[in-house]
Structure 1
Amino acid sequence: MPGSAQDAPDVSYAVLGFEDLNGWDGDDHAQALEVFRNTCRDFDDPDWRALCRVADEAGNAKDFFELFFRPVQISDGTGEALFTGYFEPELRGSPVPTARYRYPIYKMPEEARNNRPWLTRRSILTSGVMKNRGLEIAWVDDAVELFFLQIQGSGRVRFPDGHSIRVGYGGFNGHTYRSIGQELVRRGIFNMHQVSAQVIGNWVRSNPSAGEELLYHNDGYVFFREVSEVPSERGPLGAMNRSITAMRSVAVDPTFTPLGAPVWIEKGGRSPLKRLMIAQDTGSAIKGAQRADIFIGTGMRAGRIAGKIKDPGRMIVLMPIQRAYALLPDWIE
């Protein structure tokens, strides 16, 4: 939260007016307010909880945000903002292993919780340590899609009968994530601008032996838990254990941005975006005051869109009025 980052030497705060937010008047504030209500009750802080009670009774959403918040631009000395996108994958799978469905989605074994770091990806998948322990949630038909599921942290698995289950992040083995895309660039196979999830997947499938070794380059391994209690029409669970909403939820660095806070996004690039979102998620690669990952939605189309987002812009956090001004160095209570 900003309180924990406030003493860092390179962090600075600027309180803006709503007239300084490009495109503010044209947004659907009611939609953002609905998403805000979904998680604001989970705040422990009394200032935020008071605003949550007001939000439940708010009539005009735009007036609510303008009356009780002030926009705060937080900078940490790392330069321009970076926006990326993420999505909820949908994999083809089965509740039992078959010749086609042979790649297991694992629950986390107890010893992995108590030993950090635990085994590497290669050891987990090749040593037999996971076998015959009932740790499989389901089996899927594509090792590459399973690898990307681990990067996203949650997804759906659709069975042959049309039934589907949902899986969410259940823990990891404690090893640092290593990018296989960067490894392909290092080997001279692709240039950086060519690398995408689709390109990586195609290369791994076209080069089965070398592709398997490439996946082992990332020692990190993510385990899952079944979260099928979340209705299928709602988004996956975020870091606040609440469903996130396509194009209204973002993953942020909670060192700087409180989870649950409204965040104004001004994203550039080929598909500019100016929208009020809610900080409802985090991610291991989301580090910095001006870093955000936009939740695009579920399925392949959302994945294609998310994979193309790597854009500059600026991110502005809406803070309760007194909290906003308290961040300024010359503010006197």
Structure 2
Amino acid sequence: MATSTSSASSASSKISPMNSPSLRLPRLLATALIVGILAACSTRPPAPAPAPAAPPTPVAQPPLAGPTAVPGTLAQSKSRWVPVAWSELPGVEEDALHEAWNAWLRNCERPAPAFAPLCGEVRQLSIATPEEQRGWMERRLQPYRIETPEGSAEGLLTGYFEPYLEAARQPGNGFDVPLYRPPADLGTRKPWYTRQQIETSREVQAALAGRAIAWVRDPVEAMVLHIQGSGRLRVQEADGSVRLVRVAFAGTNDQPYKSVGRWLLDQGLVRDATWPGINAWARANPQRVNEMLWSNPRYVFFREEPLDALDAAFGPRGAQGVPLTPGRSIAVDRQSIPYGTPVWLASSGPTAQLARLVMAQDTGSAIVGAVRADYFAGWGAEAGELAGRLKQNLRLWALWPKQ
């Protein structure tokens, strides 16, 4: 097999867990932890060809709202960037920059205009020492603390990942939950049918006949895959062979997203929507699991992509159009941070301590605001557990080319 859950854990090798259980829990527990924080995740769109990212506009007119603008401050639609010294960045001397360089090389496949002139040097530095890489960054890039227009530098960090599921090409033997390609008439009817209609209506199922990519065992795991927007399948082929493939986001039914955790809370069925509460409720109420799942009418359709050895070392393509690097790619609000921007990230909390170079390469419908990021943890059980628990404070610094 080209990869395993352990391959994703190496991408987070420099994360320091705090007061957390072992990261080697069973796959179902790790996946289901995501369900407990559904509001922190969102289905990701496909990777369209992004429009070139314009550099931040110098604030000369009109003056910034809030505190007095620092000379040299830059502005985006939802954020302001305040120039700072490199010494302000926590842990800047300790980061294993060679890990981030893989993500930077991916950036250079579709660079933002401001960074395209640097890509030749970035490629040359891919085999440099961390000290050489750090020295180059300090010479060529200016750090800017990212703040809200009102001057707050504090925000929220969450996580996302690629679920890793067992699957089969044909239903049966416990594999009875389909993952569908988009139906032929998806664009002619908006919104398309709800999750409940898709799973119960003969008319709708007829429209999806022959559209199943594969079948998985657990409807809750399938819903997590829908929420994350992509995943990896270890597929049993009809001839008995096994193949690793990726299923990537290909569209939705255009129905609103609703959190099943919120539904359980609103119904008074659990006191908190973390995994222990949801899992205990599902075990005690198997006859109501579909009712819980159907409370979220949003349904995601996928496309199948091959996974060769190189592809398997990276995640799916993000909104920038480049493959995501575990532990080094983040999803951001593009109105705060342009795609392709190197970002220094600092976060501490009950789940992890992070101080590292990452790349803004993706987005998500729930990732909104100036100081807001979703951390791509990788794939499989360990990444799922980390992503499922990650919800803590955040500070960000954009690294922009010096003029």
Report if the CA contact (8 A) 2:79-2:336 is conserved: no
The residue type equivalent to 2:156 in the other structure is L
1:35 to 71, 85, 103: 103
Distance 2:142 2:83 in 1: 7
2:217 to 130, 141, 153: 141
The residue type equivalent to 2:104 in the other structure is F
The 3 A distance-change label for structure 1 pair 234 and 130 is: farther
Structure 2 unaligned regions, length at least 5: 1-52, 58-73
Q: CA deviation at 1:197?
A: 4.7
Judge which range, 26-35 or 134-143, deviates more. 26-35
Q: CA deviation at 1:6?
A: 4.2
Distance 1:189 1:252 in 2: 34
Report if the CA contact (8 A) 2:104-2:359 is conserved: yes
Equivalent position SS for 1:227: strand
1:124 to 198, 220, 233: 198
Q: Partner of 1:70 in structure 2? A: 142
Q: CA deviation at 1:241?
A: 3.6
The 3 A distance-change label for structure 1 pair 310 and 7 is: closer
Q: CA deviation at 1:292?
A: 0.8
Q: Partner of 1:286 in structure 2? A: 367
Distance 2:56 2:256 in 1: 27
Report if the CA contact (8 A) 1:248-1:278 is conserved: yes
Q: CA deviation at 1:202?
A: 5.0
The residue type equivalent to 1:297 in the other structure is G
Q: CA deviation at 1:51?
A: 1.4
* Residue 324 (structure 2) pairs with residue 248 (structure 1): no
Q: Partner of 1:296 in structure 2? A: 377
* Paired residues for 1:3-82 under 5 Å: 3=56, 6=75, 8=77, 11-45=79-113, 47-58=114-125, 59=128, 60-76=132-148, 80-82=154-156
Distance 1:264 1:211 in 2: 42
Q: Partner of 1:185 in structure 2? A: 265
* Paired residues for 1:207-222 under 5 Å: 207-222=285-300
Report if the CA contact (8 A) 2:271-2:277 is conserved: no
The 3 A distance-change label for structure 1 pair 7 and 253 is: closer
Query: Identity of paired residues, percent?
Result: 35
Report if the CA contact (8 A) 1:11-1:76 is conserved: yes
Deviations 1:115-151 (A, max 9, x none): 4322222222222324363210000000000000011
The 3 A distance-change label for structure 1 pair 61 and 206 is: farther
Distance 2:160 2:336 in 1: 20
Deviations 1:213-253 (A, max 9, x none): 11111121111111124536312213234322221111111
Q: CA deviation at 1:25?
A: 0.8
The 3 A distance-change label for structure 1 pair 205 and 167 is: farther
Q: CA deviation at 1:84?
A: 0.9
Report if the CA contact (8 A) 1:86-1:293 is conserved: yes
Judge which range, 271-280 or 200-209, deviates more. 200-209
Report if the CA contact (8 A) 1:15-1:73 is conserved: yes
1:237 to 295, 298, 316: 316
Q: Partner of 1:164 in structure 2? A: 244
Distance 2:280 2:105 in 1: 41
Judge which range, 124-133 or 23-32, deviates more. 124-133
Deviations 1:2-48 (A, max 9, x none): 7599464x632211221110111111122212210112230252x22
Q: CA deviation at 1:278?
A: 1.2
Distance 1:3 1:21 in 2: 20
The 3 A distance-change label for structure 1 pair 124 and 235 is: same
Judge which range, 219-228 or 61-70, deviates more. 61-70
Report if the CA contact (8 A) 2:270-2:277 is conserved: no
Equivalent pairs, count? 318
Q: CA deviation at 1:174?
A: 1.5
Distance 1:114 1:288 in 2: 33
Q: Which TM-score applies when normalising by structure 1?
A: 0.87
Structure 1 unaligned regions, length at least 5: 323-333
The residue type equivalent to 1:293 in the other structure is D
Quote the RMSD (CA, aligned, Å): 2.3
Distance 1:115 1:259 in 2: 32
